[in-house]
Structures are given as C-alpha cells and as structure tokens.
Amino acid sequence: MSSLNLDDFTDLIERPDGGVRRDAEARRERQIVPPGALGRLDDLGEWLAAAQSAVPVRPIEQPRVVLFAGDHGVAELGVSAREAGSAGELVREILDGGRPVSVLARRLGVSVRVVDMALDCDPESLPEAVVRHRVRRGSGRIDVEDALSLEEAEAAFRAGVAVADEEADSGTDLVVLGDASVGGTTAAGVLVAALCGTDASVVTGRGGLAIDDLAWMRKCAAIRDALRRARPVLGDQLQLLATVGGADLAAITGFLLQSAVRKVPVVLDGVVVAACALVGQRIAFRAPDWWLAAHNSGEPGQAKALDRMALEPLLDPGVKVGEGAGGLLALPMVQAAAALAAELPEKPEPSEKPDDAETSVGSETPADEKPTSEPEGDSS
C-alpha cells in the first residue's frame, strides 16, 4: 500500500492568477499595437503574467531543459528503431553535446539536466548528478508484466517531485520538459489509450526515428496487450504508472504536478510528456493551466492527449526526434511574448482642450467685428 496521497495535489495546485491576467489584458489593450495583431503572442504574454502574478510580465531569464531517462523492457519486441537497452548511449550523446537538444540548448544559452530513472547501464558510466535518482535498471515489459512495483513507482514519482523542487529553489523560471528513452513512446501510447478510452491503433505512432510497417504492427500489438493490463487499474493513477508506465514516466508525472504546485511554467515536448501530463490532469484537474504544448510531433498519441487537455501546440515544425528538441524550438517564441508584453509602449493619452479655449490661430474674424478705420485728419 502506497503512503503517497495523490489527492493532495488537487488542493495544493491553484490556477494562475485570473485577476492578474485581466490586468495584463487591459495593459495589452493600451499598447500601440492593436490587440490580436500579434496572434498567439498576446495570449502567451497574458498567460505568463498570470503564471508569474506580475504585470508587466518579467522576462524569462533562467529557463532549463529537464530530461528524464529510462529504458523500457517492451523495446525487446522491436517496437523502436533504437536497440533495446541503448538509452544510456543516447544520454551520453546528449551530455557530450552531440544531439539536437544539445546543439539548440547551446545556441539558446540554456542548460540541460538529464535525470536517470531506469537506464539499463552501469551507473558508474554516467555522472553522479545524472544517476543519483535512479530507481531501478530498466523498466519491465509492460505487455506481460508490470513496469514497476508500486514501491518503485512511488519512489520514481517522489524523485520527480524532488527534482521540481530543486529547479524551483534554484530560480528556474520556465522548464522545457522531455524524455530520453527507448520504448517510452510505447508506454506513452498505452497511457493515452487507457485514459482516453481508445484502441491501440488510434494512438500508435512511429516514434522519433520512424519505424517501418512491421515494427509499427509489433508496437500496436504491444500497446493492445498492455492496454488489457491497464484498464483494471485506471482508477489508481500511481498503480497505472507502475503497471504500464515506467520509472521515467512516473517521475515526469511527479515533476509536472509539483511544478504546478510551485507555480513554475512547463513547456511539454513530445508524446511521452503529453501522456504523463494526461495522467497528471487525472490527479489534479487545474494542473494543465501551468503547461504549454510546444509543438506537434506527428505522434497520434500526443495529439489525442493534448486535445483531451485542451492544449494547442505552439508550433508545427515536424520535429519527431524528442529529447526536448521541439520544446526548445518553442522557447524563443515564449521569450518573445514576454518581451513584447513588457516592452511595447502604451498609446499616448489624448490631449484635452480647456473649456474656455479661444478661437484657434488662423481663424477668420467675424464680419460684424471688423476693425473700423481711424477718421482722416486735416492735412494742415
């Protein structure tokens, strides 16, 4: 029996300040560019003001990429273009600066934090700061067994909460949240299908490296089999994460909810994070008000999850690689919205004329008030 009471998040999470948002809207109406002319940048600026409880909105000065990493046993079925158990190599590539997220983060001046939750590799092969929250080595094969024990799921969830607190305490003012996993999109598909009441085929995508048709069919079958195991535990979100999620997905869910508690906005990257956000919404219905969907990754499971949470992606660049890369592409747009909301000048107030103003310069003298000429004097 878990000692973690997820219902507490319902009471702890408040919506962004509605009164501040109305103040931000009023300020926007006074600025020199007409409201609506900046499209979604207007909404973003007002959302940020409400999240920060500040008008004018403060600039995003300490953004951070946070990636939760793990290997999933279901990858043994050939559902991923990457080899099963190879997420550790992916993490090393990220840390060495050779992945898209690494390049984009350097260009944007953003630091990347990777948190190992269930990598199938020797922990000594990675820095201590990466592995210190690890719950286990790899998650179970969800089509035939639980991904985690309930105790492991609780430990992973609490690790996500702890990482969110660390980020909030260090001054992080916006998080781009992603995953570095192998087999994670399969687990995500199961969560989305279970929570949305859909079939496996509706949520099965081709992953970041575009698997072929045979691999897609294997993935669809794995999601179908895992879905049968998920449905009986739908009423218990922690048990759901233990049954068909994984340590990285449980940690992401905990991170999302605690970030909402700490009032730190989060940009959601891909289908794995979207699936965890959907679990988070089931736990605390106000939590999605603190999240932004960065982009449309093309994964049907992501589209289904975002639609259920009424979150519209900011961008549609066609990026499928995951790892927070698509989330980083949205960061300049969020920063631009903050700058425009704060720095655009307001329209000048119209000048008022005094009530007793005289006739303006250049007006004609009324005909009946023409000056009379002086009488002519004697010439003598």
What does 299-324 look like in DSSP terms, one character per residue?
-HHHHHHHHHHT---SB-------TT
Q: How far is CA 93 from CA 69, 87, 137, 180, 276, in A?
A: 13, 10, 19, 11, 25
Helix axes 237-244, 271-283, angle to 10 degrees: 150
pLDDT single digits (tens) 191-203: 999 999 999 999 9
Catalytic residue list contains 167: no
Q: At what angle do helices 247-261 and 150-169 cross, to 10 degrees?
A: 40
Structure tokens that stand for 257 in this block:
């909810």
Residue with tokens 């409400």: 50
The pLDDT tens digits of the residues spanning 327-349 come to 999 999 999 999 999 999 998 87
For residue 272, what are the CA distances in angstroms to 168, 203, 251, 269?
22, 12, 12, 8
Q: What is the pLDDT of residues 83-132, one digit of tens each?
A: 999 999 999 999 999 999 999 999 999 999 999 999 999 999 999 999 99
Which class would CATH give 61-336? alpha beta
Q: Which residues pair with 67 in a beta bridge?
A: 114, 178
Rounded to whole angstroms, how far apart are CA atoms 114 and 120? Answer: 15
Tokens of 238: 């922690």
Q: H-helix or E-strand containing 92?
A: helix 87-95
**Does residue 148 sit in helix, strand or coil?**
coil
Could you tell me what percentage of the chain is helix, strand and coil, using 3-state DSSP and rounding each to the nearest 5? 50, 10, 40
355 pLDDT band (50/70/90 cuts)? low
Tokens of 226: 């895992």
Stretch 1-21: mean pLDDT: 91
The rounded distance, in Å, linking the Cα atoms of 70 and 120 is 7
Contact assessment for residue 170 and residue 61, using Cβ atoms and an 8 Å cutoff: no
Burial of 245 (0-12, 13-18, 19+ CB in 10 A): buried
pTM attached to this predicted model = 0.90
Mean pLDDT for all residues in the chain: 91
**Percent of the chain beyond pLDDT 90?**
84
Alpha-carbon distances, residue 238 vs 93, 151, 248 (angstroms): 31, 10, 13
Residue 224 above 50 pLDDT? yes
Cβ-based neighbours of 330, under 8 Å, separated by 6 or more: 176, 267, 292, 294, 295, 314, 315
Coil vs helix vs strand at 230: helix
**Residue pLDDT, tens place only, 137-150:** 999 999 999 999 99
Q: Which of 93, 323, 364, 376 is catalytic?
A: 323
Rounded to 5 degrees, φ, ψ at 173 are -110, 0
